[in-house]
Structure 1
Amino acid sequence: MKRLAFFLLCAMLCLAAGSALAAEGDEAAAEAAAGKWLALCDAGKYSESWREASSFFRGAVTEDVWNKGLSGLRAPLGPVQKRVRNTIIQARSLPGAPDGSYVVLTYDTTFAQKAAAIETVTVMHEKDGSWRLVGYYIK
């Protein structure tokens, strides 16, 4: 559970480390990947969301720990009612993670049981060219 908290915290910490690094097309691809990943979580497909996360993330957080942690985080909030992307920030490094290409997206989200939340989704550019989750946080 400490690892899960660490990676969720990384998503917030990298907001301060952002700089313009990726091309516009990369941002669009990163945002699309984040949206697809969030859709899995919204549907309660937590195991699938873990499988679709980055290899770095999967190596640090077991599927069982992820399922329990995400279920405990999302269940009390209820279904998503509305989600609007707020910010998009690019970074080359995150605390505790290898240098690479990262995109941090924040969303203003309304859940059935929480009217005003901020979701932070951090994705990384993998060697295979795909963008995959490396961090998720709800405030």
Structure 2
Amino acid sequence: VSVLVIGKNKGWKQDVSLGRKVNQSFVQLPFARFIQMIQYKAESIGMKVVLTEESYTSGTSFLDGEAPTKDRYDKSRRVHRGLFQANDGRKINADVNGAYQIMRKVFPNVNANGIEGVALRPAVVALSMSARRSFDCA
């Protein structure tokens, strides 16, 4: 990996009204500081960091090869929390779709020749209800 693309929207936490408790914990997250640290670490090992805005990335389809533009934006394809449906019915995690679309803003031909490789291969683990309860914090 030689380039790290980070989506950032100016003022994204301004005038947030999620309720008193949520605002207290969410709005204070130092996102700008977090990005600075990522940039510092990445650049120290020779990686280039590109910041880009995220408009229209969550309502356009990476699977369909759509550009993340206003004319292609259709939020109704986000069928429920965490799931995005492409025009042909294929489904993809909504955050993964958004992340690919953020990359497409910087690299319009991203994935034109397929995916070269992946850094992680997450395993799917099914937990029983009793196993889930043992992880709960008191």
Q: Which has the higher contact order (CA 8 A, sep 6+)?
A: 1
With normalisation by structure 1, the TM-score equals 0.23
With normalisation by structure 2, the TM-score equals 0.23
Greater radius of gyration (CA): 2
